[in-house]
Amino acid sequence: MKFAPISDRLAGLGAAKWAVHAEGLRRANAGEPIIMLSIGEPDLPPPASVLDAAAAAMRSGRTRYAHGQGEPQTLAAIAKHLTQRSGLPVAPEQVLYTAGTQNGLCTALLTLVQTGDEVLVPDPYYATYEGLVAASGATFVPVATRPEDNFHVTAQAIERAITKRSKVLLLNTPSNPTGAVLTKKEIDEIGSVCERHDLWIICDEVYADMTFDVPFCSPFDRPHLRHRTLAVSSISKSHALPGFRAGWVASHPDVTPRLVLVAEAMLFGSQPFIEDALTVALTENTQKLNNFDLPFANAPKL
Ligand SMILES: Cc1ncc(COP(=O)(O)O)c(C=O)c1O
């Protein structure tokens, strides 16, 4: 049998991780005192209004094909959410709806890099990143962070790792696993390096709403860095809905149509009723996990 090299590149980077998770679950179910650190699943229930929106939309016939880029009202809701966050206008045309952050990151990497390119990734990094970069064919270049810097990647460390082949910096703020939340100053310093070396920044912001006592800053929210940034996120963590697989990539208006081409090759549109639920989730900002005083009043018991 002959295969394309992609599955060779991905060998060892996927299923083994689920084995650890499955073993943890097995032991927890058997009554052992297990603390699950394998998967970032919020332990609060999702907002009832978002579940209701999905159910109502499904019942009302929102079960057909969705638009490949995303349903217009969903793109508008994501654009409004990002506009409010950054204070800079984001148009719906700059948004691609994705089946979660992982799907968004994969779409972004496949759109930007190929074999021969290098992707810089602050280390330690989220479990799927090696596989994502390997899938694209590009080379994974870890950039060490240090405990004495609270695991905040520095602009200097990034610059030292750059070669002629470097094309993308894959940032993750807040970081899984370290929890490091990059400051505006750090983002600007890192951004200057990316400008000097003409690097794209893919920013995984899936924990953006869970910074607790420090402000969140994305390179997408910095006017001088927005054109080179692809901001990727979802409602998996913010609304405790990882199983909905509902997220987005926001980017420059010239980038988005290219992302759409790649996304359509993989999925050709998501589930309209889930998009409707995401629209409600982002519109009802009070229900984010950040706001522990308000949310989940009507949430079902799990
Ligand atoms: C850093 C990071 N990125 C992406 C994901 C995946 O997010 P999604 O459920 O939106 O695909 C996770 C999930 O744990 C994560 O921790």
CA distance 218 to 229: 9
Task: State pTM to two decimals.
Answer: 0.92
Does residue 174 have a cis peptide bond before it, meaning omega lies within 30 degrees of 0? yes
Read out DSSP for 201-226?
EEEE-TTTT--TTS----GGGSTTTG
Q: For domain 44-287, which CATH number applies: 1.10.10.60, 3.40.640.10, 3.60.70.12, 3.30.465.10?
A: 3.40.640.10
Question: Is any ligand 1 atom within 6 A of the Cβ of residue 274?
Answer: no
> Considering only CA atoms, which residue is closest to atom 13 of ligand 1?
40
Integer angstrom CA distances of residue 3 from 9, 106, 162: 11, 20, 32
Question: Is any ligand 1 atom within 6 A of the Cβ of residue 236?
Answer: yes
Integer angstrom CA distances of residue 117 from 101, 138, 166, 196, 266: 22, 5, 6, 17, 22
Ligand 1: which of 236, 239, 241, 282 to mutate, judged by most atoms within 8 Å of the beta carbon? 236
Question: Is any ligand 1 atom within 6 A of the Cβ of residue 166?
Answer: no
For ligand 1, the distance from its centroid to the CA atom of residue 102, given in whole angstroms, is: 6
- Going by pLDDT thresholds of 50, 70 and 90, the confidence category of residue 12 is confident
Residues, the chain: 302
Instruction: Round to the nearest angstrom and report the end-to-end CA distance of the chain.
Output: 46
For ligand 1, the distance from its centroid to the CA atom of residue 70, given in whole angstroms, is: 20
Each residue of 241-250: pLDDT tens digit? Answer: 999 999 999 9
For ligand 1, the distance from its centroid to the CA atom of residue 206, given in whole angstroms, is: 6
> How many CB atoms sit inside 10 A of residue 168's CB?
25
Residue range(s) in the chain whose domain bears CATH number 3.40.640.10: 44-287
Question: Is any ligand 1 atom within 6 A of the Cβ of residue 102?
Answer: yes
| Residue reference for tokens 């990034």 | 158
| Ligand 1 atom nearest to CA at 235 | 10
The answer on pLDDT for 296 being more than 60 is no
Question: Is any ligand 1 atom within 6 A of the Cβ of residue 205?
Answer: no
Give the gyration radius of the chain's Cα atoms. 19
Q: What is the pLDDT of residue 56?
A: 98
CA distance 267 to 88: 30
| Ligand 1 atom nearest to CA at 247 | 10
CA distance 74 to 71: 5
CA distance 58 to 73: 16
Question: Is any ligand 1 atom within 6 A of the Cβ of residue 124?
Answer: no
Q: What is the pLDDT of residue 295?
A: 41
280: which residues sit within 8 A by CB, 6+ positions away?
A: 49, 50, 53
Ranges of H-type helices in 164-299: 184-196, 256-266, 272-283
Question: Is any ligand 1 atom within 6 A of the Cβ of residue 242?
Answer: yes
Residue 95 · residue 79 · CB < 8 Å = yes
Residue 241 · residue 209 · CB < 8 Å = no
Looking at residue 229, its amino acid is T
The answer on pLDDT for 290 being more than 70 is no
For ligand 1, the distance from its centroid to the CA atom of residue 64, given in whole angstroms, is: 27
| Ligand 1 atom nearest to CA at 172 | 1
Each residue of 65-104: pLDDT tens digit? Answer: 999 999 999 999 999 999 999 999 999 999 999 999 999 9
> What's the rounded mean pLDDT across residues 6-31?
88
Question: Is any ligand 1 atom within 6 A of the Cβ of residue 247?
Answer: yes
Looking at residue 48, its amino acid is A
CA distance 101 to 114: 20
